[in-house]
A = this chain, B = another copy of it.
Amino acid sequence: MDAIDRKILSLLQENAKLNTKEIAEKVGLTLSPTFERIKKLEQQQYIKGYVALVDGGMLGRSITVFCQISLFKHSKELIENFKKEVGSLPEIISCHHVSGNYDFLLKVAVSNMNEYQNFVVEKLSVIQGISNMQSSFVMEEIKNENGWVW
């Protein structure tokens, strides 16, 4: 992992469609070593995968909500169960277990308010152990980087 590898990561995390030739030029190497470096970065899992970024809004999922969740108590059982439920709900884009005033931070994307209400009432609030919930609606996405390399 040297400066060239980092440059390659940085290029690919911006645009995965760059081909080996283009990357080779940008990092100042020829095809072969560039190809091998990319393969090595994939094998060693510096690159976890390649994905297409899909515009959620164009597909109707225009409401994004951050949802803070607190549990009654921090028993292993409740936490494990909560994690399991979160995994099965497709409305939940991300979920982090955090320290501080609440326990979990959810990012939820739905098509409309009806769907959000249904999500909260029928799917979220029925999970065992939840003591408190607080929703913050996203008015604007100011930044959302894929980037971990700089």
Q: How many copies does the complex hold?
A: 2
Complex: chain B residue closest to A84, CB-CB:
B142
In the complex, chain B residues whose CB is within 8 Å of the CB of A96? 64, 66, 138-142
Question: Interface residue count for A (Cβ, 8 Å)?
Answer: 62
- Whether A113 is near chain B, meaning CB under 8 Å from some CB there, is no
User: Are the CB atoms of B139 and A99 closer together than 8 Å?
Assistant: yes
Write the nearest CB–CB distance from A12 to chain B, whole angstroms: 4
User: Are the CB atoms of A136 and B105 closer together than 8 Å?
Assistant: yes
- Whether A145 is near chain B, meaning CB under 8 Å from some CB there, is yes
Write the nearest CB–CB distance from A14 to chain B, whole angstroms: 7
User: Are the CB atoms of A53 and B47 closer together than 8 Å?
Assistant: yes
Which residues of chain A from 21 to 64 have any CB-CB distance to chain B below 8 Å in the complex? 44-56, 58-59, 61, 64
Can you pick out 14 interface pairs between chain A and chain B where the beta carbons lie within 8 Å of each other?
Answer: A13-B53, A47-B55, A48-B54, A51-B146, A54-B148, A59-B148, A61-B148, A90-B147, A93-B148, A96-B141, A96-B142, A97-B142, A101-B134, A101-B136
Listed in ascending order, the chain A residues whose CB lies under 8 Å from chain B are 1, 6, 9, 12-17, 44-56, 58-59, 61, 64, 66, 83, 86-87, 90, 92-102, 104-105, 109, 134-150
